[in-house]
Structure 1
Amino acid sequence: MRDFVVVGAGPAGSRFARSAAEAGHDVLVLESGEIGRPLACSGHVSLDVWDFLPEGARDDLFQNDIYGARFHLGGADSEPHRFYKDEPVSNAIDRVGLDKTLAHCAEEAGAEVRDGYTVTAVDEKPGGVEVTASGPDGVETFEARMVGGADGPRSRVRDEVGLPEPEELLHGVLGFDFEPDHQDFVDVHLTVPRFFAWRIPRGDSGVEYGLAVRPGDDAPQRFDDLVADYDADIDKRCSGAIPIGPPERTVGKRSFLVGDAAAQTKPFTGGGILYGMRAADVAAREIDPRQPATLDDYERAWRDELRNDQRLGSLVRAGYSMPRPIQKAGMRAFSGEIAVHMDRPTSLFSKAQLRALLSWN
């Protein structure tokens, strides 16, 4: 019997598999398709991502340095409010390559990673779990002491073990123009109800356009309007769900959720790469596959890890829906040089950010 079967080889699943394998556990990872595909997630990340990757990975995955953002309250021609640093604050990266690299790290640590396996059933038993999946050789059942659901916002593991869903599932749309663009600012448009639209230059790899809306809104039309405003030619597009707001519980009797399945995401951007990997490390540290009670330790610990940033992130997101005069006043107050970390809203209250604010007056 294995210690863990992990369903999903995205950043959170592969990071957990690597950390758990390094701790001496027997780990099997099942991915439904080709690792990294289909692409349904932005490739704009904070510089912290390199801390989770092996030396030399940057040479393969890096696409562009980003120094700040231009926030618009209107379309592409509207006057922006600039937020910036004099050094890179984030990077555009090869998102598919990131998944492949993290899965390879898990394998090097001793985990077994299999793609082409679609999980169809999860059965929690007193002594372990049975995970049934359809793979290249037909239907197989895998036994383990615990199962980890890292299978995205519409998690099959979550449904099978009866855990609650995230508070929200937004509809996100991405599109890519492959014409090279080496600008060093992203564009953010607060023109989408309750969220925003974006444009991210990706160096030689082109430009990423995207937005997210609540269910029932016309995401395709809003996306078409966005790219038309920039007169962009979209060579490829994709879409997916973006979970916002963790469910009340993310662990079962012998199961746990990590990453998008647990809505371990930033409420103000929907990004979950770094939050999911941070939570994955917490899971590998706290969960003993022979002691089901340690699942509750993981539940408490990951919430402690992310709680403050997720709460403050929710307040930041609330600003997207403020009346336009309040938005304009806020933009004028905060635009300029910043000392804020894009993954940690708590840095809004750091000494460095306070000094930056005082320096503008």
Structure 2
Amino acid sequence: MRDVIVVGAGPAGSRYARQAASDGHDVLVFEQGEIGEPLACSGHVSTDVLEFVPPEDRDQLHQNEIHGARFHLGGPDSRAYPFYKDAVISHVIDRVELDKVLARAASEAGAEVRDEHTVTDVEEREDCIVVTVSGPDGVETHRARMVAGCDGPQSRVRDAVSLPDPAELLHGVLGFDADSDDGDFVDVHLTVPRFFAWRIPRGDAGVEYGLAVPPGEAAGERFETFTDSYGVKTDRRCSGLIPIGSPESVTSDRAFLLGDAAAQTKPFTGGGIRYGMTAADHAAREIDPADPATLADYERAWRRDLGREIRLGTWVRRGYSLPRPIQRVGLGLFAGEIGVHMDEPSSLFSRAQLRALLSR
């Protein structure tokens, strides 16, 4: 019997597998397709994300460095409200390659990673978890002391063990233009309901365009309108669901959720790479697969670390839906050099941000 079966080899799943295997646990990872494919997530990440990547692999992920963001209340020709730092705020990385690098790190740490294996059933028993998998060699059944559900917004593990769903699922759409752009500002457009659209320069890799909207808001049509406003036709497109609002519990008797399956995401951007891997580290530290009682320690640890940021991020997101006159005043007051961290809304109240405001 394995110690832990990890369902999903995205950033959170691979990070947990790497840390747990490094601690001597017997870890088996299943990914339903090719690792990193299909792309369904932006490659714009905070500088902290690279700290989770083996140093020798960081350069191969690099596409561009970002110093700020221009906020718009209309299209590309509307007034821009710039927010920036002299230092690098964030990186643009090869998102597909990130998954591959992290999965390889998990394998090198001792976890067994199997792609092209689809988990079809998860049965929680008193003394173990039974996982049924369909792979190239047919149907397999595996037993483990615990299972980690790292299988995305529509988590099969979450459903199988009857854990609650995220508060909402947004529909995100991405498209790419091949023309190179090494600009150091992203553009954010507060022009879609309850969220935003974006343009991210990716250096020689081109430009990423995207948006996210609530269900029923015609994401595809809005995306076409958005890219038309920039005068581009994207040569490839992908879409996915973005979970917002973590449920009250992400653990059951022998299962725990990580990453998008647990909605460990930023409510104001939808990004969850850093939050998911941070939670994965808490899971690896706190959970003893032989002792189900330690699942409660994981619940407390990740919420103590990320809960405040998620709550504050919810308030930041509400600003996207304020009346236009209020948005103009707010953006006008705060535009300029900033001292905030893109993953930490609490940094809006930091000394660095106060110094930036007073220096204007």
1:90-239 matches, within 5 Å, as 90-239=90-239
Q: Within the alignment, does 1:331 sit opposite 2:342 as a pair?
A: no
Q: Which residue number corresponds to residue 245 of structure 1?
A: 245
Distance in 2 between residues matched to 1:54 and 1:216, nearest whole Å: 41
The amino acid that maps onto 2:115 is: D
Distance in 2 between residues matched to 1:159 and 1:290, nearest whole Å: 23
Query: What do residues 242-289 of structure 1 show as CA deviations (whole Å, max 9, x unaligned)?
Result: 000001110011000000000000000000000000000000011100
Distance in 2 between residues matched to 1:219 and 1:83, nearest whole Å: 27
Deviation at 1:179, TM superposition (A): 1.1
Distance in 2 between residues matched to 1:329 and 1:9, nearest whole Å: 44
Deviation at 1:301, TM superposition (A): 1.0
Deviation at 1:170, TM superposition (A): 0.3
1:269-280 matches, within 5 Å, as 269-280=269-280
Deviation at 1:11, TM superposition (A): 0.1
Distance in 2 between residues matched to 1:229 and 1:25, nearest whole Å: 52
Deviation at 1:233, TM superposition (A): 2.2
Q: Which residue number corresponds to residue 38 of structure 1?
A: 38
TM-score, normalising length: structure 2:
0.99
Deviation at 1:58, TM superposition (A): 2.0
The amino acid that maps onto 1:249 is: S
Deviation at 1:79, TM superposition (A): 1.0
Distance in 2 between residues matched to 1:57 and 1:268, nearest whole Å: 29
Root mean square deviation of aligned Cα: 0.6
Deviation at 1:20, TM superposition (A): 0.4
Distance in 1 between residues matched to 2:185 and 2:15, nearest whole Å: 29
Distance in 2 between residues matched to 1:171 and 1:269, nearest whole Å: 13
Deviation at 1:56, TM superposition (A): 2.3
The amino acid that maps onto 2:7 is: V
Distance in 1 between residues matched to 2:317 and 2:63, nearest whole Å: 28
The amino acid that maps onto 1:131 is: V
**Is the partner of 2:133 in helix, strand or coil?**
strand
Distance in 2 between residues matched to 1:170 and 1:157, nearest whole Å: 20
Deviation at 1:358, TM superposition (A): 1.1
The amino acid that maps onto 2:116 is: G
Q: Which residue number corresponds to residue 296 of structure 1?
A: 296
Deviation at 1:305, TM superposition (A): 1.1
Runs of 4+ in 1 over 3 A off after TM superposition: none
Distance in 1 between residues matched to 2:113 and 2:56, nearest whole Å: 22
Q: Which residue number corresponds to residue 9 of structure 1?
A: 9
Equivalent pairs counted in the alignment come to: 360
Distance in 1 between residues matched to 2:80 and 2:215, nearest whole Å: 28
Deviation at 1:177, TM superposition (A): 0.7
Distance in 2 between residues matched to 1:290 and 1:339, nearest whole Å: 44
The amino acid that maps onto 1:217 is: E
Distance in 1 between residues matched to 2:8 and 2:279, nearest whole Å: 15
The amino acid that maps onto 1:81 is: Y
Query: What do residues 93-138 of structure 1 show as CA deviations (whole Å, max 9, x unaligned)?
Result: 0000000000000001100000011111001111110000100100
- In structure 2, runs of 5+ residues without a counterpart are none
Distance in 2 between residues matched to 1:74 and 1:341, nearest whole Å: 25
Query: What do residues 147-168 of structure 1 show as CA deviations (whole Å, max 9, x unaligned)?
Result: 0000000000001111110000
Q: Which residue number corresponds to residue 309 of structure 2?
A: 309
Deviation at 1:187, TM superposition (A): 0.2
- In structure 1, runs of 5+ residues without a counterpart are none
Deviation at 1:92, TM superposition (A): 0.5
**Is the partner of 1:268 in helix, strand or coil?**
coil
The amino acid that maps onto 1:324 is: R
The amino acid that maps onto 2:274 is: L
Query: What do residues 5-63 of structure 1 show as CA deviations (whole Å, max 9, x unaligned)?
Result: 00000000000000101111000000000000000000000100111011122210000
Distance in 2 between residues matched to 1:329 and 1:160, nearest whole Å: 48
Q: Report the identity percentage.
A: 69
Query: What do residues 301-342 of structure 1 show as CA deviations (whole Å, max 9, x unaligned)?
Result: 111110111011001000000011110111011100011100
Distance in 1 between residues matched to 2:27 and 2:133, nearest whole Å: 16
Distance in 1 between residues matched to 2:58 and 2:23, nearest whole Å: 26
Distance in 2 between residues matched to 1:228 and 1:57, nearest whole Å: 36
The amino acid that maps onto 2:151 is: D
TM-score, normalising length: structure 1:
0.99
Distance in 2 between residues matched to 1:185 and 1:57, nearest whole Å: 25
Q: Which residue number corresponds to residue 321 of structure 1?
A: 321
**Is the partner of 2:120 in helix, strand or coil?**
strand
